[in-house]
Structure 1
Amino acid sequence: MLTRYLHCIDHTGLSSYLSAGGESQAVARYPDSSEGVSQFSAWLARARPGTHTLLVDLPDEGFQSETIPFVAGADRKTLIARKQAQLFFGSPYSTAISLGREKEGRRDERILFAAVTRPAALEPWLAALHQHEAPLAALYSVPLLTRQLLSGLNPESPRGLIVSFSPAGIRQTYFENGELRFSRLSPAPEGDYASWGEACLRETQKTVQYLTTQRWITRNVRLPVWLLLARHDFAAVLASLERAEQLDFHLVNLETLAHHFGERSRTTASDSHPLMMRLALRAGRAPQLAPDNERRSYQLQRLRQAILWGGAIAAGVLLCLALNNHLASRSLWQQGAALQAESQQEELRYQQLLATLPQLPTSLESLHSVVNGIDQLAARRADPADALRRLAHVLDDYPDVDVLRIDWQQADDASGTVSATLDAALPLSAAADPRAAIIRIRAFAAAVRAQGDELSLLNLPFDVESDKTLRSGADTPNKRPEFKLRLLISPEKQP
């Protein structure tokens, strides 16, 4: 995490502090001179990387309330920039605070413009920061922290005056409806804070006269004043405030208020700087005076940090996804290993069970094949009786045909069609007249075809090609003429 530095600038010079653990630790003090600026630049060269916040407590401040037409976006920014250039010509250290819209007329927007009117008091210190590319987070003035301060005071009145002491002097800040309206810094009197009562009363009365002249308050209304002091200075300062007219003083314990905002170091004096430093470190998006070109290094640093954090978050997400995938893969592998072990155990039990059975005359695979064939035959309900009966009717009409072999097979589909292959032979006497034998065989085939759907003569006993002389296929006349035919018979055919 980057170190956070806070630098307080007043008329005497610059004081550097290191913020750590809710405490502001003093680093060094540099006088308002060229030598002091050189010392500050040398310290920046060897300081640890970090962000730098500037807190200004100078009397060279300007506050102007103006109204602008109620617009938004780029038009509003242009109007505000034009007003700032008109009101604080030559000073880039300015800001604008919206005070709301008017209740009558065009309901224009009321803007409080605040600026450091003597830029020379800041430029040497800012130049040193720019030279060493030290990221400038913000440039605050003490009055710009009024809104935060009011959140700790919780005043019952909508308007009032806040008075605080510091080495820079006596600060009086006027607020209205929770917003800053005006502030002035009076020179610091001589002596310790307990003796500043007379000067505090005198300067506060001057501020009240100015507010009355500006018609922000009326003469017949008592103005509440919150005075920030250490407890041991209450009695001494309060004794000098008894002659106050038109003012109601309320003493506030400075140490208690500082602890409310997270400052852990003990406050031993009525110096309000530690409190203001804590408010500056907590300011966040409060109005600040530094122009954009002075904060470019800080913006680039924030962008780099955002990219690094985004990359770290993305890497973490990817790492979690990878770990999740690894755990899921490991779980699947373990489940697969368990299933494989269980399968091996079941195979072992199966083999052990087979070993207890009696020996079979053939292999188990052959029995499986036979059983499957029987099951298929049973499912098909193959029955060649009808087909054979039809062949028997034909054979009754051809007693000279001698059936040698019949092979039958039922079709694989559920039609019930029977394929029969018939090996037959004529008497030996038919071999003497091949032509008559062929005619007899063809007549028998025609009779058989009438009983089926399709018939094919596969083999004849004689060569019947057209370009050859009809002769016996056998060398000896003692051989019976044999032939073969194939017949398809559907179950719908009737004999």
Structure 2
Amino acid sequence: MTNDRLCAFDWRAGTLTPGPCFGADRDGMDAFARHLDGAQQARAYLVADLVEEDFARCLLPHVRGRAGRSLVERRLSHAYRDTPFRHAEIQDRDSEGRRDDHTLFSALTNAAMVQPWVALMEQNKVPLAGLYSAAHLSAQLVRRMGIAQEHLLLIAEQGGGLRQSYFQGPHLKFSRLTVLAAHDNVVEATASETAKMQQFLTSTRLLGRGQMLHVVVLAPLARVEALEQRCEDDHELAFHFVDIDSACARLKLAGDVETAEQLLLSLLGRDAPPGQYPPGAAGRFYQLWRARLALNCASAAIALVGALWLLASVWGGVRDDQEGTRLLVEAAQLDARYRAIMASLPPTAARSANMKAAVQLDGLLAATAPAPAPLVTLVSRSLERAPAIRLLALDWQVQLAPQTAQAPIAQPGLDAGALKQGDGGAEPITASVVGLPGAPQQVLRIDGEVEFGPSDYRAIVDSVNQFARDMAANPGVAVHIVEAPVDVRQSVKLSGKTDSGDAASVKPRFAINVTWKP
């Protein structure tokens, strides 16, 4: 977009193709509106190359976050209050003092030159990705070509005229556009405008006296020879001439690029940075376009995952059917072999299935049937801590739980190793006796005596009580003293003599019932 027209270019498959141009009048606006008809699915990038673009350098305190953004926006709106197209770029910082930020303010001061074109894009719902400045895009050209200098002046003929951009290192500091209608010859205009620009930079203290200014002139190959003859180096100026074809080769751009503005647009199409100036309400259609693209990509990804899952499920089903068929065939073969082997064996008293069940039941009984060893082990541990107690007898029994009417009912206290004999022969033991489905409760009667000196009844009673408490401390164990060595109940009359001659030969005895639930 220039001061008098707007030219359309098409970027497709990495190639820039020039399109129609539209004048900045009523007829041109109507033609541009017709050109936008049906372009709602194409992204648009609007590049402004206008004379009415102002640049200002400013030092701002280094403030981060929301406060820093508010400070920049406040200073920017104060500097350019008459236009919404304004931009601030923090380039670097001071090396000394409080290290303020070097900020470049720029704005399209004549908003009326831009708003009609943007309004037409908004009316036609064209996704406007960004509003760019040709001067700011030239900074990208300097970085990509690797021509940055401490003081660099880039001169290029573009659609709006002769663009002169001054750089310090990679950072743009100032740019101006000279309309070529006032000059008869581009070569003469380049030489004269370079001298004016050097004088301006010196007067504004951007360029010190005696410092070298490198001037890079970007021009078609046919004009380079004339520029070399007209523009001569001196002790403060050094000219470098780069033709368009060499620049395209260095930047690896495809297609026919004939002008500097096409070079900038090709860089923009290949790698578009964020726009410098806000597009306003017209930018919402680009956000909708991005949301639509994201939804389409997500839908495609979901569809792809669903298709892969479906293929995997179908393939898994086919494999399962094949495996099932193979297993059925293998089972039929094994069954036939089993029948053949069984047919060749002599007759047996019991069926093989019954013998297998008997073996399994035997192993189950060996693992779960009640046995006196665990409970006797607990008694042995307690006896080690009671040296005065000597065992006389142990009576181990299995305490049966109440059975249903269908199950055989065992007598309480039935020994686990016995079988009841009756008229009908051996009666089977109930399931609870053999530990099925759960281990039964066991009862162990302990008969013993206490070896203490004569008349030491307190020690005798304490030793039996301590033994009982020690047994009761085991998990699942309950202890009941059936007969105490000394009957100290209030309802019993004490009798006997403590100094009788046979007191040493008769040792006090006791009986204890230990109940254990494994």
Match of 2:303 among 315, 319, 325: 315
Distance 1:131 1:342, change over 3 A: same
Which whole-Å deviations, capped at 9, do the CAs of 1:236-295 have from their partners, x for residues lacking one?
111111276621001112123234445322245xx2111011122245334511244331
For residues 300 and 326 of structure 2, the distance between their equivalents in structure 1, rounded to whole angstroms, comes to 38
Matches within 5 A, 1:44-443: 44-47=36-39, 49-155=41-147, 157-188=149-180, 195-242=185-232, 246-268=236-258, 271-355=259-343, 367-368=351-352, 415-421=417-423
Distance 1:318 1:71, change over 3 A: farther
Structure 1: unaligned runs, 5 residues or longer: 1-8, 381-409, 424-495
CA contact (8 A) 2:126 2:285 kept: yes
What amino acid does structure 1 have at the position aligned with 2:30?
S
For residues 243 and 262 of structure 1, the distance between their equivalents in structure 2, rounded to whole angstroms, comes to 30
* Greater mean deviation of Cα atoms: 334-343 or 315-324: 315-324
CA contact (8 A) 1:146 1:179 kept: no
CA contact (8 A) 1:148 1:283 kept: no
- Residue 33 of structure 1: CA displacement? 0.6
**% identical equivalent positions:** 27
* Greater mean deviation of Cα atoms: 200-209 or 323-332: 323-332
SS in 1 for 2:180: coil
For residues 374 and 85 of structure 1, the distance between their equivalents in structure 2, rounded to whole angstroms, comes to 97
Which whole-Å deviations, capped at 9, do the CAs of 1:12-33 have from their partners, x for residues lacking one?
2011111112222223111111
SS in 2 for 1:50: coil
What amino acid does structure 1 have at the position aligned with 2:153?
L
Alignment TM-score, normalising by the size of structure 2 = 0.66
Distance 1:346 1:221, change over 3 A: same
For residues 300 and 30 of structure 1, the distance between their equivalents in structure 2, rounded to whole angstroms, comes to 27
- Residue 94 of structure 1: CA displacement? 1.3
CA contact (8 A) 2:40 2:126 kept: no
Distance 1:41 1:414, change over 3 A: same
SS in 2 for 1:335: helix
Which whole-Å deviations, capped at 9, do the CAs of 1:372-414 have from their partners, x for residues lacking one?
899999999xxxxxxxxxxxxxxxxxxxxxxxxxxxxx99996
Distance 1:244 1:88, change over 3 A: farther
Distance 1:374 1:81, change over 3 A: closer
Distance 1:220 1:378, change over 3 A: closer
CA contact (8 A) 1:51 1:134 kept: yes
CA contact (8 A) 2:39 2:126 kept: no
CA contact (8 A) 1:211 1:217 kept: yes
For residues 373 and 141 of structure 1, the distance between their equivalents in structure 2, rounded to whole angstroms, comes to 92
Kindly report the root-mean-square deviation, in angstroms, between the aligned alpha carbons of the 2 structures. 3.3
Which whole-Å deviations, capped at 9, do the CAs of 1:121-152 have from their partners, x for residues lacking one?
11111110011111100111111113310123
Match of 2:21 among 26, 29, 41: 29
Which whole-Å deviations, capped at 9, do the CAs of 1:156-206 have from their partners, x for residues lacking one?
6233111111242111101112111100111115899xx422110100111
CA contact (8 A) 1:95 1:287 kept: no
Distance 1:200 1:422, change over 3 A: closer
What amino acid does structure 1 have at the position aligned with 2:264?
M
CA contact (8 A) 1:22 1:262 kept: no
For residues 357 and 186 of structure 2, the distance between their equivalents in structure 1, rounded to whole angstroms, comes to 120
Alignment TM-score, normalising by the size of structure 1 = 0.69
For residues 67 and 107 of structure 1, the distance between their equivalents in structure 2, rounded to whole angstroms, comes to 10
Distance 1:353 1:378, change over 3 A: closer
Structure 2: unaligned runs, 5 residues or longer: 366-409, 426-518
Which whole-Å deviations, capped at 9, do the CAs of 1:358-385 have from their partners, x for residues lacking one?
7x5xxx79655887899999999xxxxx
What amino acid does structure 1 have at the position aligned with 2:240?
H
SS in 1 for 2:55: strand
Query: How many residue pairs end up in the alignment?
Result: 378
CA contact (8 A) 1:164 1:229 kept: yes
Larger C-alpha radius of gyration, 1 or 2? 1
For residues 289 and 143 of structure 1, the distance between their equivalents in structure 2, rounded to whole angstroms, comes to 12
What amino acid does structure 1 have at the position aligned with 2:23?
P
For residues 70 and 356 of structure 1, the distance between their equivalents in structure 2, rounded to whole angstroms, comes to 100
